[in-house]
Structure 1
Amino acid sequence: MFQHLLPTAVSSPSAANNRGVLSAAANGLDGFIVQHGGDLDRVFGRSGIDPEHLLHPTLSLPLTNYCKVLEEAARQTGCDNFGLRYGQQFQPKALGLLGYIGLCSPTLEDALINFAEAFPFHQHSTLIELVDQGECYRFDYQVRHGAIHERRQDAELTMGMAMNLVRHVLGPQWAPRQVAFEHARPQDWHEHRDAFHADVQFAQGCNSLLIPKRDVTGHVMPGNDPILLMLIKDAIRQLGDSGSEANMLDRARQTILANLHLGEPALEAVAHDLGLSEWTLQRKLRDLGLSFSQLVDQIRRETALAHLKQQHLSVTQLASLLGYSETSAFSRAFKRWFGTSPRQWRSAATTPAQRV
């Protein structure tokens, strides 16, 4: 049938032009937050999300804000498995164009293929693979955005979305052979096993569903429509046509982040990795309202906060990880960013009411 299908990652020029994630991915999020006792203004405000965007399913939300709103919703509602529960009730048609690409496909097998093929137009900076493993297809998903460190809720939501596409045809009791998540096992992990009716592994290399081929071959999609499918494919490709500047910026961020631990990032080295001249990279960044030093500063600021929250690195180790030759240089930069030292920020952050 096919061997290794759709290894589409952020480096694919045709798949990464969408600057974020289509807001259809947050369909019903406001009501779900309220249902779980959350404060909408607080959740959206802290996440930098404009609720008006959620009314327009083809508008693009920044992926950083999208992942953040799910994490913030989990914190605000006190529901540690927020993404899992949100994903359980998220039906394919609620995903807008991406969902209908699956629903209009001729067979369930085609639906999975088309869903994976279209996903990069729906969401950028993301790995999507449908891998033929003989008896099974493995559906892999992983956010690969350099600034996104907290993404558990998004992973559990997306695995639920993919599962519900299959259950749309095979019924609510269908179960994948195995489910894997890249994050550590949460406290209420039994809820994951009950949701998927399957063995769930944590701390794995990638988020994935293992789907037996015998379950998906030969099953006709009840709403299959070849003409509508063609129109939807064209529409979602057009949505991805937003230019290559955002793709360049994202690749530059990831290059800088991957090499920070080696020391102060050099414009020449980053430009070389991107296949650009120094002048061209500077011009492209300037067109986006950034200088190279501002981009490096921004990445260091975001990464510092993410690691300080996790408590597992000392300030000295973090300074080295961010490419500073001396801890004092990192401390001065941190005070410039937040008006306090890294140690003071970490101490205050242990008390929720004092968190910056």
Structure 2
Amino acid sequence: MAVAPQMNRPMPVIASIRASVLAPLVEQIDRRSGKTDLLLASHGILRSQLDDPYAMIPMARYVAIFEEAALITGEPSLGARLGTLFKPSDIGPIGVLFSISGTIRAGFERLAKYVNTVQSATSSGVFEEDGNLVWSYRLEDARMWPRRQDSEFSVVASCQLVRSCFAKSWKPLEVHFEHLAPRDRSVLERIFRCPLKFGESANRIIVDGRDAARLYRQEDPALSAVLERHVAELVGKAITPDSISERVRALIGIYLGHKPITLPSVAAELRISVRTLQRRLAEEGTSLRHLVRETREAIAATQLEAHVQKARIAEVLGYADSTVFWRAQKGWSRRQG
């Protein structure tokens, strides 16, 4: 999740982000190295673009620059550290909405609902599991990899939002990351002060159900309504409407391995009938089964390349066991052949 100025210009269809969000990164590289301009140029970016609040860059370049910045500065946890400096004002009206929310649940629901006003091609959602609240964040394009820095920055920044707006001493029940565990987890352990899981299907923050529901303040309904309308306008201008398959892919990324992904459950989330969902997916030449398989294949490819045990991959992808995963793999191979 990137920092973005309060702008009303529309986001283009390509997965993009405001160039100005690179400013904190550039500041860090300037302090430690003379390679800033070379790094930016190697990714087709000019320093002057960072001063233009309307300039856009592809999300893939932002992710790649973030990863390379961590190498140049010699700080593997650069994204996490920058996340601890995050403020509600860094994401404009969405941050204000988060800060005036009466409960942590309401704050995360708003963050998930409006994340695409800050950056496009991002899946974020909130759901309940075992009585607890789960907030999920994931860049939709599996080809944007590695992306540890963006993931850690986004999750730490979201945690920091809770601490600055609700309770300074708050900590999650558990935190999940889609990348594999780094050699040194100490920075993340100090920040979160809770169990960490790696190699998951998405990045997640698990919030104790009691913490999520606790009322911290009474909202000002009039102020909330004004901000909601303003942010809703930004959502309408940010990107072209998603196709039904894109919306379904987003839900799959949020729930995979944690909730059953069925036609009735997905249709209920989209507030349409099962028959309408099937028809609209068919019109786009796809199906729920095909989209689930695509998502599983993309995640499995990344984890197999990293030599993750198949039993663990099966768990992350929502398979009963490694045997079922092995059979699915054979099916994928036959289709590709």
Give the structure-2-normalised TM-score: 0.62
**RMSD over equivalenced CA pairs, Å:** 3.7
The answer to whether 1:218 aligns with 2:215 is yes
Deviation, 1:99, is: 2.3
Partner of 1:229: 227
Q: In the alignment, which residue of structure 1 is the partner of 2:171?
A: 175
State the Cα distance separating 1:146 from its structure 2 match.
4.2
Q: How does 1:47-58 map to 2 (within 5 A)?
A: 47-57=43-53
Deviation at 1:127, TM superposition (A): 1.8
Change (3 A) 1:155 1:84: same
The Cα of 1:17 is off from its aligned counterpart by: 4.6
Q: Which residue of 1 aligns with 2:284?
A: 275
The letter for the 1-side match of 2:169 is Q
Instruction: Tell me the alpha carbon deviations over residues 279-333 of structure 1, each in whole angstroms, 9 at most, x when there is no partner.
Output: xxxxxxxxxxxxxxxxxxxxxxxx9xx99xx898xxxxxxxx9x999xxxxxxxx
User: Within 1, Cα distance between the matches of 2:28 and 2:220?
Assistant: 27
Q: CA-to-partner distance for each residue in 1:137-186, whole Å, 9 max, x for gaps?
A: 11111112143121111100110121111111234332111111111111
Q: How many angstroms apart in 1 are the aligned matches of 2:14 and 2:167?
A: 33
* Equivalent-residue separation in structure 1 for 2:28 and 2:58 (angstroms): 20
Contact 1:178 / 1:200 at 8 angstroms: preserved in 2? yes
Sort the Cα spacing of 1:82 and 1:137 in 2 relative to 1 into closer, same or farther, 3 A: same
The match for 1:145 among 135, 141, 155 is 141
3-state SS of paired residue (1:96):
helix
Within 2, Cα distance between the matches of 1:75 and 1:59? Answer: 26
Using the alignment, how far apart are the partners of 2:220 and 2:82 within structure 1?
Answer: 24
Contact 2:88 2:161 in 1 (8 A): yes
Structure 1, residues 226-257: CA drift from partner, whole Å, max 9, x if none? 254134313422441x446xx78x97xx9xxx
Contact 1:24 1:56 in 2 (8 A): yes
For 1:190, give the aligned amino acid.
Answer: S
Are 1:157 and 2:153 counterparts? yes
Code of the residue aligned with 1:54 in structure 2: it is L
Conserved 8 A contact 2:123-2:137: yes
Does structure 1 retain, via aligned residues, the 8 Å contact 2:40–2:65? yes
Instruction: Return the letter of the residue paired with 1:237.
Output: V
Matches within 5 A, 1:70-149: 70-149=66-145
Give distance in 2, aligned partners of 1:56 and 1:232: 23
CA distance in 2, matches of 1:17, 1:108: 31
Cα distance in 1 for partners of 2:306, 2:196 equals 27
Q: CA deviation at 1:34?
A: 2.5
Change (3 A) 1:145 1:50: farther
CA distance in 1, matches of 2:151, 2:20: 16
Measure how far apart 1:21 and its partner are: 2.6
Structure 2 unmatched runs, 5+: 1-10, 250-280, 286-297, 308-332
After the TM superposition, which residues 175-194 of structure 1 pair with which residues of structure 2 at under 5 Å, given as runs? 175-194=171-190
TM-score by length of structure 1 reads 0.59
**Counterpart amino acid of 1:98?**
I
Counterpart Cα distance in 2 of 1:161 and 1:221 = 24
Q: Is residue 101–residue 232 contact of structure 1 (8 Å, CA) maintained in 2?
A: no
1:185–1:128 Cα change, 3 Å = same
1:187 shift after superposition: 1.6
Structure 2 Cα separation of the partners of residues 66 and 136 of structure 1: 33
| Change beyond 3 A, Cα 1:243–1:135 | closer
- Counting matched residue pairs gives 250
Distance 1:230 1:142, change over 3 A: closer
- State the AA in 1 paired with 2:217: V
- In structure 2, the partner of 1:197 is 193
* Structure 2 CA distance for aligned equivalents of residues 215 and 56 of structure 1: 40
The one-letter code sitting in structure 2 at the alignment partner of 1:182 is: E
Question: After the TM superposition, which parts of structure 1 deviate over 6 Å for at least 4 consecutive aligned residues?
Answer: 221-224
Check the 8 A contact 1:18/1:121 in 2, yes or no: no
Q: Quick one: distance in 1 between partners of 2:224 and 2:106?
A: 12
From the superposition, tell whether residues 203 and 243 of structure 1 become closer, same or farther in structure 2 (CA, over 3 Å): closer
Percent of aligned positions that are identical: 21
| Superposed displacement of residue 208, structure 1 | 0.8
Work out which of the residue numbers 58, 70, 74 in structure 2 matches 1:62: 58
Q: C-alpha separation between the residues in 1 aligned to 2:119 and 2:148?
A: 16
